[in-house]
Each structure stands twice: as C-alpha cells, then as structure tokens.
Amino acid sequence: MCGRVSTSNHEYIAERLHLKYADGLIKPGSINLPPTLELPVITDEKPEELQYLYWSLIPFWAKEKPKFSSFNARLENLQVSGTWKHLLGKRHCVIITDGFYEWKKLDEKGKHKQAFLIRMKEQQFTLMAGLWDSWIDQSTGEIINSCTIITRSPNKFMKSIHDRMPCLLTVESARLWIDRELPLEERLQVLEAIPDQLMEKSPVNKIGDREEYEHLFTS
C-alpha cells in the first residue's frame, strides 16, 4: 500500500518541473502527509499545470464520500472495479512526492515495526501513477477533485519490506501515463514494477521529525 508520503512546496515543484499553477496557490509541502489531505499532481486534462487533489478518490457517481478506503487502487482491480474502470484511459494523473513511507514487520505478529522512507534514485521527485475524478457535493454544490495512488505487487527491493508498492514512474513513463493520445494498452505498460536499482531507502525513527528527515540518505 501507500498511505503516507512527503512532498515539496508548490513553488519548488513548479520550478523544477516547469509547471504553471493557479494564482494565489500556497502549499508549503509536508514531510508527513496522510490520506484526506491534498497531494500535488499533474493530470491528463491539464498536463502543464500543477494541481492539488484530495487524496482519497470520490467517484463522480457517489452520493457521499466513500466509507471504504479509496486512497489506493490495486492495479489488478483497475479494469474490473466499478470505482476505477471508468477512469482508465480518461482520467490519469501523476502524483509528485519526495518519497513514501512504509513499515517493515520485525516479528511475525507485527507488534514491532521499522519505518522506512523510500524514494527514486537520481530523480528529482518520486513520481507515482494515479487516477482522478471530480465529484459534486449535492448538499453544498462544492466540486471536489480527488485522486488515488495505484499500487501493485512488490519488486524484489520492496518485497523485504511490504507486499505492496506504489506504481512508480520515471519522468519519461510519467509523460506516457498522462498522454491521452496513446492507446490505453500502451499507457498501462508503464505500470510494470520499477527496476530495483532505481530505488533507495533509509530507516526512520520518528516520522515527522524535521531534523532527522533532513539527514536521511546523507550517510
């Protein structure tokens, strides 16, 4: 799964990825960002603009926010689940993070765990494939754009930590994922597990500790 990420501020992301953003947008970034907050994304609808979407997808047809977990979408269910299949080929997005957290069980029952921050090597950001949708709250008229991160079975690197991982993207495969001109079959190919050598991890003692965070990956 992928249920906790770190992100940079909106100005840094926009500058590095050459993206536009709405006037008045102020997003400071977070080293400990959970679902139901907003993630920085690029959508296939506006691939040149940095947007922020609610992290836990609300299908357009829902009468209310889902009571089930929708911050992750399993790759193997994308083409069969009513929550996801209508978005394939139509509403793809790329989530822009600095990395994601995962916990490794240190004993059989999982009473003791070690947290890791995991990221892409030699790439400015850790990019993840996602889906997005727009939902109208019938009680208020508010339009909420939301997203989910697609997960898959782990590669060898992740298998020793967890049995799921986000579908990570290179800069090039991210462009393909949000290219509406390409056939869906070609876009789905980028969701193959990323090679082990493109990833790195660092143990974390206390998630959210700024001082510790700034020294990760420095040794």
Which residue among the candidates 2, 93, 147, 167 is catalytic per the annotation? 2
User: Residue 107 falls within a domain, yes or no?
Assistant: yes
Mean pLDDT of 11-25: 94
State the pLDDT at residue 111. Answer: 84
Which residue among the candidates 93, 102, 147, 167 is catalytic per the annotation? 102
Residue 185 has pLDDT above 90, yes or no: yes
Dmax over Cα atoms in the chain, in whole Å? 52
Q: How many domains does the chain have?
A: 1
CA separation for the pair 51, 209 (Å, rounded): 27
State the pLDDT at residue 219. Answer: 59
**Can you spell out the DSSP letters for 63-110?**
SSS-SS--SEEEGGGTTT-TTTGGGTTTSEEEEEESEEEEEEESSTT-
Residue 159 has pLDDT above 80, yes or no: yes
Q: Which has the closest alpha carbon to 87: 128, 51, 131?
A: 131
User: Residue 170 falls within a domain, yes or no?
Assistant: yes
Contact present, 177 and 94 (Cβ < 8 Å): yes
Mean pLDDT of 201-206: 96
**Can you spell out the DSSP letters for 133-144?**
EEEE-TTT--EE
State the pLDDT at residue 110. Answer: 75
Backbone angles phi, psi at 60, to 5 degrees: -60, -25
User: Residue 49 falls within a domain, yes or no?
Assistant: yes
User: Residue 219 falls within a domain, yes or no?
Assistant: no
* Confidence category of residue 152, pLDDT binned at 50, 70, 90: very high
User: Domain range for residue 86?
Assistant: 5-214
The token pair at 28 is 């400071």
Mean pLDDT, the chain, integer:
95
* Confidence category of residue 14, pLDDT binned at 50, 70, 90: very high
State the pLDDT at residue 96. Answer: 98
User: Residue 91 falls within a domain, yes or no?
Assistant: yes
CATH number, domain of 189, equals 3.90.1680.10
**With 0-12 CB in 10 A as exposed, 13-18 as middle and 19+ as buried, what is 49?**
middle
Mean pLDDT of 175-194: 97
Contact present, 60 and 82 (Cβ < 8 Å): no
The token pair at 69 is 């977990």
Residue 109 has pLDDT above 80, yes or no: no
93 part of the active site: no
State the pLDDT at residue 59. Answer: 96
> What are 121-145's pLDDT values in tens digits?
989 999 999 999 999 999 899 999 9
181 part of the active site: no
> What are 64-96's pLDDT values in tens digits?
898 889 999 999 999 999 999 999 999 999 999
Contact present, 116 and 203 (Cβ < 8 Å): yes
Mean pLDDT of 172-184: 97
